[in-house]
Amino acid sequence: MTMPLIIPIFIMHRGCPHRCTFCDQQKAAGPYPDDVSETFFRQTVLSHLQHIKKKPDQVQIAFYGGNFTGMPRQDQTRLLKYAQPFLEAGGVSALRISTRPDCLDKERLDFLKEYGVQIVEIGAQSLVDDVLRRAERGHTAGNVDAAVQLLKANGFEVGVHLMAGMPGDSPEGFARSVARTIAMQPHTVRIHPTLVFTGTPLERDHRNGSYEPLTLDEAVLLCKSALLKFTAAGIPVIRIGLQTTPEMEKRGTVIAGPYHPAFRFLVEASIFFDRAASLLSRGDFQEKAVVFSVCPKEQSAFRGLKNENVRKLQNRFGLSGIRVVPDPAQPAGTLHVHCDI
């Protein structure tokens, strides 16, 4: 099955017990209304549905950008009711929400199920208690474990969000978060590097020198390692890097941190670079021209941004040339290299 088309509705910090130090949904998601009206909801969903070019297997409506199950019950009911006509008409197949791990219990799950919510994404961010404390998350790694198990036991599809480069985190700490997430066996994962949004407590910490964000290279390295581990564990990583919005692209919105509009592409290109380098280091290709066969849909990730991988490989291994040949017989995620005769 292909990835579902997800129609996001941002609820803008609704239900959040407080602000986590790094978070500003207005900056990350853009100018959404503080309260989602039925008219706004309908228009947003219809405009997404009208612009679908090739119908995916599944269309889902997602309530993101806040703590859904932390909202008063009447607000949850109101929003979920807006979605019911789309579910009944069949244009939308399921609802998903994102929420905090400490705002779930059996009663809340029964309520969500009644309204067609099938997927719950947990904002974990880290599975290291000291890191969670420093970001003022207000929950523990144990809460995440418990939430994931409860959701799975009640038949929900579960997603877990992780962040690289959180205040007080380290590469080892992030690796522990990845390992603990794999042990929980969620259905999907999202990862994004921590960015410093203007106006957040994290901006203050950055300006007073108590928080230094990851560089872009460090963020790519950490997320690459996480992607490889999740993939090996059979857990799809459905997003790497925050969704780029016009708001984020505005000057002064992200004041520091490894922001890149094609962050996932950088991570995947880095994986291909490593694979190609490993193949080249096993043979004698010095001063020779080589041909790489790649799966056609991975050709651009192999080349890297502006052909950077090809240039770097050529320089590092002293090659006289590299030809990249898209080969439908080459399995995805693999490469073959031989001399160009």
**Which residue ranges make up the site for ligand SF4 (CB under 6 A)?**
13, 16, 19-20, 23, 25, 66-67, 100, 123
What is the radius of gyration, based on Cα positions, of the chain? 22
Nearest approach in angstroms of CB 103 to ligand SF4 is: 9
Q: Output 66 or 258, the one with its CB closest to ligand SF4.
A: 66
Nearest approach in angstroms of CB 266 to ligand SF4 is: 24
Locus of tokens 């670079």: 273
Nearest approach in angstroms of CB 126 to ligand SF4 is: 11
Angle ∠(27,75,79) on CA atoms, nearest 5 = 75
User: How many angstroms separate the Cα of 204 from the Cα of each of 20, 200, 207, 209, 210?
Assistant: 13, 7, 5, 9, 9
CA distance 59 to 48: 10
Nearest approach in angstroms of CB 123 to ligand SF4 is: 5
Cβ atoms of 140 and 100 closer than 8 Å: no
Q: Output 139 or 303, the one with its CB closest to ligand SF4.
A: 139
Q: Output 205 or 327, the one with its CB closest to ligand SF4.
A: 205
CA distance 60 to 46: 12
DSSP assignment, residue 209?
A: T
Q: Output 25 or 270, the one with its CB closest to ligand SF4.
A: 25
CA distance 107 to 46: 31
Nearest approach in angstroms of CB 316 to ligand SF4 is: 40
Of 312, 207, 220, the residue nearest 268 (C-alpha): 220
Nearest approach in angstroms of CB 138 to ligand SF4 is: 8
